[in-house]
């Protein structure tokens, strides 16, 4: 009866813990091998036959037949008089196989088998969960909220593995109830009390990156590279993108037609405001883009100390700082510069808006100057040719032609 109960226990674990047949056989063989070594001193002359599907487990001991009185090791040898009780035709020198029944083990030994089995299966489960999720760090998983606690959510995946979403890894406006479906990125796998704990996150930049990969095919295929992501979860995010293919507009591709691609991401992040900007190695241009939607008038950069003094019109300062100071804070993190904003109070009444020259200068060139904060004629003339070439993506010939046109205006 103990034999049957033991096998039923094995079957239950196989069904509910998703342990494959080969692993279960290996665990069983290991458990009984240890028991045989403890009981008989060796397991080398035993055959353990496991059939998980049928629920059969057999143990056979192989011994050599020797003359009566010449038995030196009862585990590996059997007296002739005992052997013929098993099979009358046996002769001295032959091998005899004898089945070991569960009844041959004592109650304590059977209990030890059960406990050892439980321990081995739990170890396997822990190892299996750890191996599965350590390879999935940085991936998005979809789970079901199983329990809501004050400081965390207990989430289960499609294999009923328990995952943890701490409150500090949730977007402030997140609200979930038991049974809700939730998406999050696997942040890390911790070991607590020799048990793997899978930590999820919805505030990690990796979560936003994976969302872009799922919504924007060009990002998933590697045609568009995400250079950097910074976030204030639930409030604002800035993402710098780059494409090595001139035919692809990385910002346009990420946003989609009428915002179709980015809208799904914004909804998932509880209406987090996402700024997508073109990455560039031009520090001035990069900082100018990072401060979007504000427009700058001028900028001084201290490369050695990674500081930037940005000058802009009074009505642009509040845009640069943003609600709660998030815009300028994220721009600094994105570019790696400490950014200070100063009001440019000098307004020249004789200055001319750059847009007034649209009949002589192509609009895309005007836009290039505006991108570095030069939206008037004199703001462009304040720079020399090398500075303008360095700050914009324009050719020297183009810059010289623009300066000629602007100088003529004031002559």
What is the Cα–Cα distance from 283 to 281, expressed in whole angstroms?
6
SS3 content of the chain, % helix, strand, coil (to 5): 45, 25, 30
Bridge partner list, 1:
none
Phi, psi of 315 (to 5 degrees): -75, -10
Mean pLDDT of 84-96: 82
Q: Is residue 106's pLDDT more than 90?
A: no
Q: Is residue 108's pLDDT more than 90?
A: no
Tokens of 312: 């802009």
Mean pLDDT of 360-369: 88
Mean pLDDT of 16-41: 72
User: What was the pLDDT predicted at 84?
Assistant: 83
Indicate the CATH number of 142-201 among 3.40.718.10, 2.40.50.140, 3.40.50.11540, 3.40.50.720: 2.40.50.140
Q: Looking at 44-48, 281-285, 362-366, which range is the least confident one?
A: 44-48
Q: Name which residue leads in pLDDT, 109 or 299.
A: 299
In this structure, CATH architecture of domain 2-131: 2-Layer Sandwich (3.30)
Place of tokens 């793997």: 196
C-alpha distances in Å from residue 69, one per residue of 45, 66, 72, 94: 21, 8, 9, 17
Residue 363: helix, strand or coil by DSSP? helix
Query: Per this entry, what is the length of the chain?
Result: 411
CATH topology of domain 280-345: GMP Synthetase; Chain A, domain 3 (3.30.300)
User: What was the pLDDT predicted at 1?
Assistant: 36
Sequence ranges of the domains in the chain: 2-131, 142-201, 280-345, 354-410
Q: Is residue 258's pLDDT more than 70?
A: yes
In 101-252, the DSSP E strands lie at: 140-148, 152-156, 162-166, 181-192, 195-201, 224-232, 236-243
| pTM for this predicted structure | 0.63
C-alpha distances in Å from residue 102, one per residue of 43, 62, 243: 16, 17, 69
* Start-to-end Cα distance in the chain: 109
Mean pLDDT of 198-221: 95
pLDDT digits 0-9 by tens, 268-280: 999 999 999 999 9
Q: Is residue 262's pLDDT more than 90?
A: yes
Q: Is residue 68's pLDDT more than 70?
A: yes
Q: Name which residue leads in pLDDT, 57 or 76.
A: 76
Tokens of 390: 């360095």
User: What was the pLDDT predicted at 42?
Assistant: 77
């Amino acid at each position: 009866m103990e034999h049957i109960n033991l096998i039923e226990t094995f079957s239950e674990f196989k069904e509910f813990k998703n342990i494959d047949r080969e692993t279960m056989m290996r665990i069983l063989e290991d458990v009984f091998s240890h028991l045989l070594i403890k009981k008989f001193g060796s397991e080398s002359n035993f055959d353990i036959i496991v059939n998980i599907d049928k629920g059969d487990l057999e143990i056979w001991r192989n011994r050599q037949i020797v003359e009566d009185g010449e038995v030196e090791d009862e585990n590996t040898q059997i007296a002739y008089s005992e052997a013929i009780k098993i099979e009358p035709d046996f002769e001295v020198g032959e091998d005899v196989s004898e089945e070991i029944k569960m009844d041959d083990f004592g109650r304590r030994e059977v209990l030890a088998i059960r406990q050892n089995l439980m321990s081995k299966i739990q170890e396997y489960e822990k190892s299996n969960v750890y191996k599965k999720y350590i390879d999935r760090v940085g991936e998005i998983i979809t789970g079901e909220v199983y329990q809501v606690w004050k400081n965390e959510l207990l989430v289960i995946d499609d294999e009923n593995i328990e995952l943890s979403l701490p409150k500090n890894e949730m977007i402030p406006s997140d609200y979930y109830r038991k049974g809700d479906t939730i998406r999050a990125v696997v942040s890390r796998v911790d070991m607590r009390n020799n048990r793997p704990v899978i930590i999820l996150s919805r505030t990690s930049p990796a979560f936003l990156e994976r969302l872009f990969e799922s919504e924007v095919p060009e990002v998933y295929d590697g045609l568009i590279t995400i250079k950097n992501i910074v976030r204030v979860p639930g409030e604002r995010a800035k993402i710098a993108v780059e494409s090595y293919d001139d035919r692809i507009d990385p910002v346009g591709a990420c946003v989609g037609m009428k915002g179709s691609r980015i809208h799904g991401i914004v909804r998932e992040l509880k209406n987090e405001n996402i700024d997508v900007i073109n990455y560039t190695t031009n520090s001035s241009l990069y900082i100018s883009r990072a401060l979007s939607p504000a427009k700058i008038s001028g900028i001084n950069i201290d490369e050695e100390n990674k500081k930037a003094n940005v000058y802009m019109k009074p009505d642009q300062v509040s845009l640069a700082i943003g609600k709660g100071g998030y815009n300028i804070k994220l721009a600094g993190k994105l570019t790696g510069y400490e950014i200070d904003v100063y009001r440019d109070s000098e307004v020249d009444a004789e200055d001319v808006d750059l847009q007034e020259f649209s009949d002589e200068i192509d609009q895309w060139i005007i836009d290039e100057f505006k991108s570095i904060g030069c939206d008037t004629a004199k703001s462009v003339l304040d720079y020399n040719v090398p500075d303008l070439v360095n700050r914009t993506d324009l050719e020297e010939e183009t810059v010289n032609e623009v300066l000629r046109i602007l100088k003529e205006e004031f002559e």
